[in-house]
Amino acid sequence: MRRWAALLAAVGLTGGCALGTGDDRSRAEELAAQYFPGQLSVLGARNLFPETTGSEITFALTGDPDAVVRLRVDTKKGLCNGKSCEVELRRVVEQGRQAAQTWRRIAGALRGCGHEPIGADERLGQVWVEGEPANATIGGLMAKLGGCLPDLPITVNFAAPAVAAKRPKIDPKLPMLLQLTGSKTQAALSAKTYLAASFAQRDAATRTRESSARLVRPFEEREKFRMRVEAAAGAWLAANRPGDTIGRGMSLWRLRPGTVDRLVGFVLFCNGKVQECLGTSENAVLMTVDPQGNPVGEMRVVENVRNAQGRLELPYPV
């Protein structure tokens, strides 16, 4: 077990080179020279763990300082991501160009709103900025972001200044999207609880844009929060609905609009013993809690929280 852990650590530190990526890297360079001469330069390679063959090769794209191109190459199988290497290379190059264009739209909009982007996920569905919204500012901030962000489904995560200061430094020689989406950057920015503000696309008919905010916590903090709210809901049920018990699974908790210290959410419960519920609770306790999970205000039951297909439809109050 120790030898296996040491091997995994080595892979993580070297980008996977410990298991050998040389053949795949050479093949990727040949493909780049053949189909995009002078346009792609290899930046690195990593193994496709836990797969036993193949590597992900990362390229910079000449003339675009933001773009990064990722190609999965398996020289032994003669394929790239299970497909023709020419077809796949052309696809990922175009994907890299489009992502860079989308990124510039998002980054430009955020800067126009006064926020410098400091991180993002690879799909660009989430972007990080530095900040600590407060009750006095969150309402205006949500309205401003909803108005200036591109009409895309997107979440803006706020890292506290002390957390943002610990992220890896920018290397101007590397593509911007490679740096901002890197695993070390993501790990640093998500190390502490942060506020995530989500924005949907505008409704085609009304041109309105739904938004919500929530707190995202590291695992240990999330478990403490879960246990505290479930204990509170269970005690409330024991006093108000004897015989009913807390079910399996808890909904996503949202920040109450206009606050950063009041969360509203649901704890599912069963009519009878939890062993008879099998994870399909039909009812829930609606609660408002503080960031630690302590109830604040009244609790009440919301019945029939699943639709005909069995999916949860939770009526969050506004």
Q: What is the DSSP letter of 295?
A: B
pLDDT above 90 for 153? yes
**How confident is residue 278, by pLDDT bands cut at 50, 70 and 90?**
low
pLDDT above 70 for 108? yes
Give the whole-number percent of the chain exceeding pLDDT 90. Answer: 72
Give the whole-number percent of the chain exceeding pLDDT 70. Answer: 89
Indicate the SS3 state at residue 278: coil
Task: Give the residue from 261, 259, 263, 232 showing the smallest Cα distance to 246.
Answer: 232
Q: How far apart are CA 254 and CA 257, in angstroms?
A: 9
pLDDT above 80 for 20? no
pLDDT above 70 for 80? yes
Q: Which two tokens stand for residue 134?
A: 């407060």
pLDDT above 60 for 3? no
| Tens digits of residue pLDDT in 193-206 | 999 999 999 988 88
Biggest CA pair distance of the chain: 73
What angle (nearest 5°) sits at the alpha carbon of residue 138, between those of residues 312 and 305? 10
- CA separation, residue 115 to residues 62, 74, 215 (Å): 28, 41, 19
pLDDT above 90 for 307? no
| Tens digits of residue pLDDT in 154-211 | 999 999 999 999 999 988 899 999 999 999 999 999 999 999 999 999 988 888 899 9
Question: Among 13-22, 114-123, 290-299, which stretch is predicted with the lowest mean pLDDT?
Answer: 13-22
Whole-model pTM over 0.85: no
Q: Which two tokens stand for residue 167?
A: 């992220």
> Are residues 66 and 103 in contact, defined by beta-carbon separation less than 8 angstroms?
yes
Average pLDDT over residues 59-64: 97
- Residue given tokens 């009041």 in the structure block: 262
Alpha helices in the chain (DSSP H): 2-14, 22-35, 85-112, 135-148, 161-164, 176-180, 183-189, 219-240
**Computed from CA positions of residues 116, 121, 123, 125, in that sequence, does the dihedral angle turn out positive or negative?**
negative
**How confident is residue 273, by pLDDT bands cut at 50, 70 and 90?**
low
Task: Return the pLDDT at 5.
Answer: 40
